[in-house]
């Protein structure tokens, strides 16, 4: 019986395990994970911290028992000591001290990513927190039971940082967000959109300190002050949301790596070593927006890559169609969605890119309630006319529109194709001259 070993059992690893167990029952499947739980939806942490959900129970969608009932051997709280790629053996040690020498025919690495922790003075102080795992979120929530923690400083204004800023405000704390960039969410949106998020944060009482770099944290035993290159901020807790790096500790000397350290994989998720696959945040993706290999750490990408690797490890040839990096955020009712490249990023990548914008109400103007304005931007290549990206922003849920643009980028659709696209009209839903059509018609 062919032996398949999966190292790491969160989103990508769980997807791989479920695919193999459900569709290839004749395989012997073993998984190792360092954590005491699997399948934690980290994207729900902010909702939990902000008391928008009553507990963390719904943030798990699988567990050791469920996977073992399907026939897998799951070793939790077990550290991988070494992988012998030549003889195909995984060496591991459990928390209990038990040691394993697990042979494999196919190996799937789903080691995920690790939080970036700056090497600055004071980083070891109490109440300096990271938020990645379930245990991190639980620790933060437990500490927030202490009413002396009145102010929280979030370092980093990406998706996690902005979501946490809202969460801590909803939890009754004063909040400051610090980032070295001059805005928030700049990796996903152009300034015309990030300005709307900045306004929404400020309207809800979040202090913004953009364009500042944290240099030091001070305090006796607990953190009391954040010192940047431009100012000082009193605080009772610091949460680091700077970003993540691929966890490539296993085999990084042997496997070919991407420029940021991620395992470099082909469209079948196979690494440079035969019969070894890498999935999720530890691996690269094929980015259709730039038509090249890239690194985009998203749970959706992780799940898809796990499914693809599982099929290939079991002998079914399956290749990724690539990704567009589709993403979204909702903060105090402001919904922002994007896919592909921003105009800024497209130009940085060497494209002679342009953007066409339009802003209008979602529904017919005679709809007197529940009608909100929507802002859209479509980014395209001026020479080829191919759509490179799209961004939408509204207090109305317009998230479904981004799926069409994701497919357009994947299939290299031109902006002209969108100009007279068959889009239905009904006053309950949209306008006859809808914002997608009008934005496309407005293109140069």
- Residue positions annotated with a catalytic role: 11, 43
Count of beta carbons in the 10 Å neighbourhood of residue 54: 8
Nearest residue to 269 (alpha-carbon basis) of 303, 299, 306, 239: 306
Stretch (H or E) spanning 195: helix 191-203
Which residues, in sequence order, are CB contacts of 40 under 8 Å at separation 6+?
10, 59, 60, 133, 134
| Beta strand pairing call for 89-94 and 78-84 | antiparallel
| Beta strand pairing call for 225-228 and 232-234 | antiparallel
Nearest residue to 395 (alpha-carbon basis) of 429, 372, 423, 417: 372
Backbone angles phi, psi at 437, to 5 degrees: -60, -45
The Cα angle at residue 293 between residues 288 and 298, in degrees rounded to 5? 75
Using CA atoms, how far apart are residues 295 and 299, in angstroms rounded to an integer? 13
């Amino acid at each position: 019986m062919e032996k398949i070993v999966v190292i790491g059992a969160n989103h990508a690893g769980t997807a791989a395990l479920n695919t193999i167990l459900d569709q290839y029952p004749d395989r012997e499947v073993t998984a190792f994970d360092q954590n005491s739980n699997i399948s934690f939806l980290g994207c729900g942490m902010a909702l939990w911290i902000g008391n928008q959900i009553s507990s963390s129970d719904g943030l798990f969608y699988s567990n050791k028992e469920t996977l073992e009932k399907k026939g897998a051997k799951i070793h939790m709280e077990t550290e991988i000591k070494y992988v012998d790629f030549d003889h195909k053996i995984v060496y591991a040690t459990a928390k209990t001290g038990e040691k394993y020498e697990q042979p494999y025919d196919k190996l799937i690495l789903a080691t995920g990513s690790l939080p970036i922790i700056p090497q600055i003075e004071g980083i070891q102080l109490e109440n300096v927190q990271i938020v990645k795992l379930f245990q991190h979120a639980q620790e933060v929530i437990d500490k927030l039971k202490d009413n002396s923690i009145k102010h929280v400083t979030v370092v980093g204004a990406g998706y996690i940082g902005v979501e946490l800023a809202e969460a801590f405000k909803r939890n009754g704390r004063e909040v400051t967000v610090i980032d070295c960039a001059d805005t928030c969410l700049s990796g996903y949106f152009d300034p015309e959109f990030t300005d709307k998020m900045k306004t929404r944060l400020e309207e809800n009482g979040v202090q913004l300190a953009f364009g500042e770099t944290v240099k030091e944290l001070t305090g006796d035993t607990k953190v009391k002050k954040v010192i940047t290159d431009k100012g000082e901020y009193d605080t009772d807790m610091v949460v680091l949301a700077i970003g993540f790096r691929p966890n490539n500790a296993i085999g990084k000397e042997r496997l070919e790596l991407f420029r940021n350290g991620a395992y470099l994989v082909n469209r079948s998720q196979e690494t440079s070593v035969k019969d070894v696959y890498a999935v999720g945040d530890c691996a690269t993706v094929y980015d259709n927006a730039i038509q090249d290999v890239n690194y985009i750490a998203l749970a959706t990408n992780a799940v898809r890559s796990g499914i693809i690797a599982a099929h290939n490890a079991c002998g079914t040839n399956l290749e990724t169609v690539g990704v567009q990096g589709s993403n979204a955020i909702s903060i105090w009712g402001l919904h922002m969605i994007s896919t592909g490249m921003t105009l800024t990023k497209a130009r940085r990548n060497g494209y002679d890119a342009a953007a066409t914008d339009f802003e209008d109400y979602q529904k017919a103007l005679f709809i007197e309630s529940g009608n909100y304005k929507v802002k859209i931007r479509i980014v395209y290549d001026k020479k080829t006319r191919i759509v490179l990206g799209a961004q939408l922003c509204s207090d109305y849920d317009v998230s479904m529109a981004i799926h069409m643009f994701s497919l357009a980028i994947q299939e290299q659709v031109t902006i002209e194709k969108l100009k007279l696209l068959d889009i239905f009209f009904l006053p309950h839903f949209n306008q006859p001259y809808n914002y997608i059509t009008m934005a496309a018609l407005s293109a140069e």
